[in-house]
Amino acid sequence: MPSSDFPMSLSLEEAQQRVVAVCKSRTPAIDTVPLQATVGRVLAEHALAAGDMPALDNSAMDGFAVRGEDLPNDGEARFQIVETLLAGHDTRHVLGAGQCMRIMTGARMPNGADTVVIKERVRVEANFAIIGSGERMGSNVRPRGEEMRAGQLAVECGQRIRPTHASLLASLGMDRVRVFGKPRVSIISTGDELVMPGQPCSGAQIYNSNGFGLGALIGGADARLNRVDGSTDGLPFRHVPDDREQLRRALLNAARTSDVVITSGGVSAGEADHLPGLVRELGRVHFWKVRLRPGMPFLFGEIEGTLLFCLPGNPVSSLVTFQILVRPALRALQGDRDIHPRWLNARLIEPVRKQHQRTEMLRGCLESGEDGTLKVRVSGRQGSAMISGMLAADVLVEFPESAQTLDAGQVVRVFPIQHD
Ligand code: AMP
Ligand code: MG
């Protein structure tokens, strides 16, 4: 390929910044969806409390509603039971002196009452409740607006909705919610050596694993798999051999029907690695190669406005670059304010060494130390072709560019791997 007119060999940080900057400059579409379809989507508006929450003073326990001033300081007091209050039912009675009402959790507090004494602490004799000393005025009542006041911000725009958010939005009375559109993603795997599982695999061939792993990741919460072009026979991806012309057609096709195209393989500097040249010819390369291991040949570009992430073919390289470069992009494209993987600090259990000047993302397992610190063990199988090593890990351990050795006990950043 001729000398480059795009940045090459960026640091991981620079690469992440460039990816996110481009993605944030795109305006996501907005869909209005029923509440039950919102989980996994990103809220496209602030959700405000329409009224006070809770909307009524109500009992926090099953017990007896009384006037606090009637409670005895010592000895016992007798209260006449005048009514039973169930959740969802109202009463017009005002509680008088020396009276009480049986009340269930969630029932509206009757006028006049300000305290609930739990039933376990009450003796009932005929139509009277006998209550001893030691009860506190105002206890076991959930006052109106205790959790939230009308107009208060309940869920912020840009929040990815989880089941508990759906519950909160429902409790605000919202039935339809505005959420950002998910990017449509097509996946293309490349390589002459690849065979579909289920087919005979002989000689120099291997099974195509990336297509399935990436397809399943995309089918998860972060994007929408584009099955129009990206797939054949119900597969989540399309496979293309290392043929420049076929690859060119597949790229253009996918670009025209998707917001994002993800490829695997064919992006290094080998004879059959056509992608860098093709992207340059058909569109624009934002950058190629990252000072990262595994995942160095990663390319970010665009074709006809569609973003293109070219992942290296080694299965671990493709999964690692997906975690740290593609997933943040997919999140940014759908307005998620939580873009980057959260990292934790942990102490290395054993020393590690490296001989290159790239950031290494080692596969590791967390252990919780008895002294209360988080520890991390770098697991044995680090080869970039070893999927089982990736699966055995729960974090990626950052081995900074400039360091050559990390000692046991040294604090490192670890990034929890999101396996789904
Ligand atoms: P490449 O990036 O195309 O040079 O591929 C690097 C290595 O990853 C080679 O050993 C390929 O055989 C392997 N590889 C490429 N694509 C896949 C795939 N879809 N599934 C499994 N292995 C792959
Ligand atoms: Mg290849």
Atom of ligand 1 nearest to the CA of 317: 8
**Ligand nearest, relative to CA of residue 208:** 1
**pLDDT score, position 221:** 59
Question: Which part of the chain has CATH 2.40.340.10?
Answer: 344-416
Q: Is the CB of 206 under 6 A from ligand 1?
A: yes
Q: Is the CB of 270 under 6 A from ligand 1?
A: yes
Q: Which residues, 6 or more positions from 344, have their beta carbon under 8 angstroms from its beta carbon?
A: 366, 374, 395, 413, 414, 416
Residue 326, burial from CB neighbour count under 10 angstroms (0-12, 13-18, 19+) = buried
The 3-class secondary structure across 124-182, one letter per residue, is: EECCEEEEECCCCCCCCEECCCCCECCCCEEECCCCECCHHHHHHHHHCCCCEEEEECC
Closest protein CA for atom 6 of ligand 1: 313
**Ligand nearest, relative to CA of residue 313:** 1
Report the sign of the C-alpha dihedral through residues 79, 84, 87, 91, in that order. Answer: negative
Rounded to the nearest angstrom, the distance between the alpha carbon of 353 and the centre of ligand 2 is 29
Taking the chain (420 residues) in runs of 10, the rounded mean pLDDT of each run is 81 97 97 96 97 97 98 98 97 96 98 98 98 97 97 98 97 96 96 96 96 89 68 82 98 96 97 97 98 98 98 97 96 94 95 96 95 92 91 96 97 94
Closest protein CA for atom 10 of ligand 1: 314
Question: Which part of the chain has CATH 3.90.105.10?
Answer: 33-53+149-180
Q: Which residues of 116-146 are buried (b: 16+ CB within 10 A; e: fewer)?
A: bbeeeebeeeeebbebeeebeeebbbbebbe
pLDDT per position as a tens digit, 67-101: 999 999 999 999 999 999 999 999 999 999 999 99
**Ligand nearest, relative to CA of residue 312:** 1
Q: Is the CB of 210 under 6 A from ligand 1?
A: yes
Q: Which residues, 6 or more positions from 288, have their beta carbon under 8 angstroms from its beta carbon?
A: 4, 6, 7, 8, 267, 276, 297, 298, 299, 300, 301
Q: Is the CB of 193 under 6 A from ligand 1?
A: yes
Q: Is the CB of 236 under 6 A from ligand 1?
A: no
**pLDDT score, position 231:** 53
Q: Is the CB of 139 under 6 A from ligand 1?
A: no
Task: Identify the CATH number of the domain defined by range 58-142.
Answer: 2.170.190.11
Strands, DSSP E only, in 156-313? 176-180, 184-190, 194-195, 206-207, 224-225, 238-240, 260-264, 284-290, 292-293, 299-303, 306-311
Task: Identify the CATH number of the domain defined by range 8-29+182-333.
Answer: 3.40.980.10
Rounded to the nearest angstrom, the distance between the alpha carbon of 189 and the centre of ligand 1 is 9
Atom of ligand 1 nearest to the CA of 189: 19
Domain at 33-53+149-180, CATH homologous superfamily: Molybdopterin biosynthesis moea protein, domain 2 (3.90.105.10)
Q: Vertex 20, ends 15 and 26: CA angle to 5°? A: 140
**pLDDT score, position 230:** 46
Three-class SS state of 341 = coil
Rounded to the nearest angstrom, the distance between the alpha carbon of 10 and the centre of ligand 2 is 22
**pLDDT score, position 228:** 53
Question: Which part of the chain has CATH 2.170.190.11?
Answer: 58-142
**pLDDT score, position 225:** 84
Q: Is the CB of 264 under 6 A from ligand 1?
A: yes
pLDDT per position as a tens digit, 335-359: 999 998 899 999 999 999 999 999 9
Ligand 1 pocket, mutate which of 190, 264, 267, 318 (most atoms under 8 A from CB): 264
Question: Which part of the chain has CATH 3.40.980.10?
Answer: 8-29+182-333
Closest protein CA for atom 17 of ligand 1: 313
Rounded to the nearest angstrom, the distance between the alpha carbon of 358 and the centre of ligand 1 is 21
Rounded to the nearest angstrom, the distance between the alpha carbon of 257 and the centre of ligand 2 is 24
Residue 109 is given by DSSP the state P
Ligand 1 pocket, mutate which of 194, 212, 263, 321 (most atoms under 8 A from CB): 194
- CA-to-CA dists, residue 403 to 39, 125, 272, 320, 417, angstroms: 41, 78, 34, 20, 23
CATH class, 344-416 region: mainly beta
